[in-house]
């Protein structure tokens, strides 16, 4: 079986968020079991020399909306995976990956090019699409390309759907017959993700809980009724992390690499980080947040809570960037002696923060899967999360005695039903009490570091899904 993974980003070539990590780790593990191909745009930010990306000897033209687009295809090999890169200036030569005024054309070109590549240049059995940027390939695979393969679409975040003016129908040769309520049409606009859901043979989300949540209005982002219509092909498979990439025992970013038998070195890493970012009292518990500064992530509630506990015996570090409103909420916290706010993103620094922190904050309003809590546990940082989506599926409160959990006496972190100030403060108080109990705190760190959040199990589930799809 040959599986083609199609995404707008993939680590290590290009990354703006968790999608790149997920697709990269997924491909590497999948390639151990089946022939795996990855297809992504060749953005100008990708270092072709570093990754030995060369022309594949495949060129073709697309005629879209009366305009001709000459496509060049490049390729490289990495960890058993054959990677193809689609190049056209209109797709690739932008300052930003997303949020461009012509994003419909950009990713329309990408979807058409993927289908042309699959139709005439490579042989595949499964076309696996990720998020709205590649979702358009699902309807195109059926018509006009008539690909002899099954199509799987994974929704990593339903909040991003690729919604554009209906002029995209003609601009991208989609056909007005498909501009209907059961296909592309969404409040008189074109919805790429909706069209993909309609025509994919199977639709997955990135956690079992999120697959259930998105069928309800609170999380469905306007597509809950449509998803209920297609629930017979909808399932949730929890993402994993690349255990070889995220390994505190060999991570070159760390000053004091450690494993679950060397927790003392984690404390040395913490002292080193605190000195590096100017936090005093490194014996205090260190709370961390790494990620986007956005409403989805509960940043307003996080900032409000931190203002309330700024004088408590603890340290906090925030690393991330986002829209001006949420950055402005965090910036004043920098004036507190025990809080550091670092705007922007630094991969190496993020690894140091994961490794040095005692607790990792994720007060998300919704979280399809979340990789940060898995990385945090891998690096010995105990997650404090709101119970939603993949956070509910991966983090069990250490005080939870639910009989439904196979090992209720252990747990993995601290959970909240809500992120109001009272619930948040209660979670912080539980964390401080846990930190004071060194034996229990260390035992929880060690237990979490031993857990398997790799791609091994998810890939087994996806292979089962692929094989269940009726072949051509």
Residue 114 lies inside a defined structural domain of this protein: yes
- Percentage of the chain modeled with pLDDT above 70: 98
CATH of the domain at 419: 3.40.50.2000
Rounded mean pLDDT of 227-253? Answer: 96
Res. 79 pLDDT band, cuts 50 70 90:
confident
Within a domain: 120: yes
Mean of pLDDT values over 255-279: 96
Rounded distance between C-alpha atoms, residue 293 and residue 276, angstroms: 23
Cα 140 from Cα 168, distance rounded (Å): 14
User: In the structure, what pLDDT confidence band is assigned to residue 408 with cuts at 50, 70 and 90?
Assistant: very low
Together in a domain, 90 and 57: yes
Taking the CA atoms of residue 302, residue 303, residue 308 and residue 312 in that order, the dihedral angle to the nearest 10 degrees is 80
Domain count, the chain: 2
pLDDT band at 125 (very low <50, low <70, confident <90, very high): very high
Same-domain status, 235 and 318: no
Percent of the chain with pLDDT over 90: 92
Mean pLDDT of 372-384: 97
Please tell me the pTM assigned to this model.
Answer: 0.92
Q: Assess contact for 106 and 100: CB atoms under 8 A.
A: yes
Q: Give the residue-averaged pLDDT of 178-185.
A: 96
Helix 347-356 × helix 263-277 angle, to 10°: 130
> Taking residues 54-77, what's their average pLDDT?
97
For residues 63 and 172, membership in a common domain is answered with yes
Q: What is the pLDDT of residue 410?
A: 64
Find the Cα–Cα–Cα–Cα dihedral 10, 23, 159, 306, rounded to 10°.
-80
Q: Where does residue 42 rank: exposed (0-12), middle (13-18), buried (19+ CB within 10 A)?
A: buried
Nearest to 298 by CA among 395, 389, 162: 389
Specify whether 234 is located in the same domain as 272: no
What tokens appear for 267 in the block? Answer: 């404390």
* Residue ranges making up the domain that contains 306: 263-449
255 domain residue, yes or no: no
Residue 253 predicted with pLDDT over 60: yes
Answer whether residue 145 is part of any domain: yes
Mean pLDDT value of segment 138-142 = 98
Q: What is the mean pLDDT of the chain?
A: 95
Reply yes or no on whether the pLDDT at 403 is more than 60: no
Same domain, 322 and 180: no
Same domain, 236 and 273: no
pLDDT of residue 18: 86
Q: Residue 219: inside a domain, yes or no? A: yes
The pLDDT of residue 400 is 75
Please determine, for residue 334, whether its predicted confidence score (pLDDT) is greater than 70.
Answer: yes
The bridge status of strand 189-191 relative to strand 202-205 is unpaired
Does 407 have pLDDT greater than 60? no
Given this model, what pLDDT does residue 406 score? 45
Q: Across residues 372-378, what is the average pLDDT?
A: 97
pLDDT band at 425 (very low <50, low <70, confident <90, very high): very high
**In a domain? residue 146:** yes
Residue at 88 is within a domain:
yes
> Which of 77-81, 151-155, 322-326, 398-402 shows the highest mean pLDDT?
151-155
Flag whether pLDDT at 471 surpasses 80.
Answer: no
Q: Mean pLDDT throughout 362-380?
A: 96
Does residue 103 share a domain with residue 16? Answer: yes
Asked whether residue 224 falls in the same domain as residue 281, the answer is no
User: For 438-448, what is each residue's pLDDT tens digit?
Assistant: 999 999 999 99
- What pLDDT, on the 0 to 100 scale, is given for residue 414? 97
The residues near 125 (Cβ < 8 Å, ≥ 6 apart) are 1, 2, 3, 149, 150, 466, 471
Same domain, 422 and 463: no
- Is residue 68 domain-resident? yes
From CA 213, how far away is CA 375, in angstroms rounded?
Answer: 24
pLDDT value for 310: 87
Question: DSSP strand E in 302-381: where?
Answer: 315-320, 339-343, 359-362
Evaluate if residue 34 carries a pLDDT over 70: yes
Same domain, 213 and 297: no
The single-letter DSSP state of residue 256 is: S
β-pairing, 189-191 with 185-186?
antiparallel
- Which of 213, 248, 227 has the alpha carbon at shortest distance from 391? 213
Bridge partners, 69 (sequence order): 62
Alpha helices in 96-164 (DSSP H): 103-120, 132-135, 137-142
Co-location of 101 and 223 in the same domain:
yes
Same-domain check for residues 220 and 326:
no
Predicted pLDDT of residue 345: 85
Q: Is the pLDDT of residue 122 over 50?
A: yes
Question: What's the whole-number mean pLDDT along residues 5-13?
Answer: 96
């Amino acid at each position: 079986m040959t599986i083609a993974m199609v995404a707008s980003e993939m680590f290590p070539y290009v990354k703006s968020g968790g999608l790149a990590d997920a697709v990269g780790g997924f491909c590497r593990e999948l390639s151990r079991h089946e022939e795996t191909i990855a297809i992504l745009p060749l953005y100008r930010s990708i270092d072709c020399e570093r990754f030995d990306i060369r022309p594949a000897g495949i060129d073709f033209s697309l005629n879209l909306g009366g305009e001709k687009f000459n496509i060049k295809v490049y390729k490289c090999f990495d960890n058993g995976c054959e990677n193809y890169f689609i190049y056209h200036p209109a797709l690739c030569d932008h300052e930003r990956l997303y949020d461009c005024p012509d994003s419909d054309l950009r990713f329309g070109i990408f979807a058409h090019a993927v289908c042309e590549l699959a139709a005439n240049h490579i042989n595949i059995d499964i076309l696996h699409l990720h998020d709205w940027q590649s979702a358009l390939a699902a309807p195109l695979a059926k018509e006009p390309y008539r690909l002899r393969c099954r199509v799987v679409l994974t929704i990593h975040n339903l909040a991003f759907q690729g919604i554009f003016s209906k002029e995209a129908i003609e601009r991208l040769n989609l056909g007005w017959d498909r501009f209907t309520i059961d296909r592309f049409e969404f409040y008189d606009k074109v919805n790429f993700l909706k069209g993909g859901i309609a025509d994919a043979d199977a639709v997955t989300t990135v956690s079992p809980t999120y697959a259930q949540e998105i069928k309800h209005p609170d999380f469905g982002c306007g597509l809950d009724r449509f998803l209920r219509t297609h629930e017979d092909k909808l399932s949730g498979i929890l993402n994993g992390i690349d255990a070889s990439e995220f390994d505190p025992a060999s991570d070159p970013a760390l000053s004091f690499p450690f494993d679950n038998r060397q927790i003392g070195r984690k404390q040395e890493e913490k002292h080193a980080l605190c000195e590096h970012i100017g936090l005093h009292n490194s014996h205090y518990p260190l709370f961390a947040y790494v990620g986007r500064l956005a409403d989805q992530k509960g940043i307003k509630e996080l900032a409000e809570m931190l203002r309330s506990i700024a004088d408590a015996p603890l340290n906090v570090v925030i690393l991330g960037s986002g829209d001006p409103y949420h950055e402005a909420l965090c910036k004043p916290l920098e004036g507190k002696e025990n809080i550091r706010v670092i705007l922007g993103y630094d991969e190496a620094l993020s690894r140091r923060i994961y490794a040095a922190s005692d607790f990792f904050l994720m007060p998300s309003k919704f979280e399809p899967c979340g990789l940060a809590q898995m990385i945090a546990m891998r690096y010995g940082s105990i997650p404090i999360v709101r119970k939603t989506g993949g956070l509910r599926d991966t983090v069990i409160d250490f005080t939870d005695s639910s009989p439904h959990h196979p090992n209720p006496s252990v747990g993995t972190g601290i959970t909240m039903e809500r992120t109001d100030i009272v619930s948040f403060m209660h979670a912080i108080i539980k964390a401080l009490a846990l930190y004071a109990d060194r034996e229990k705190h260390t035992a929880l760190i060690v237990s979490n570091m031993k857990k398997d959040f790799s791609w091994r199990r998810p890939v087994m589930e996806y292979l089962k899904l692929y094989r269940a799809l009726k072949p051509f």
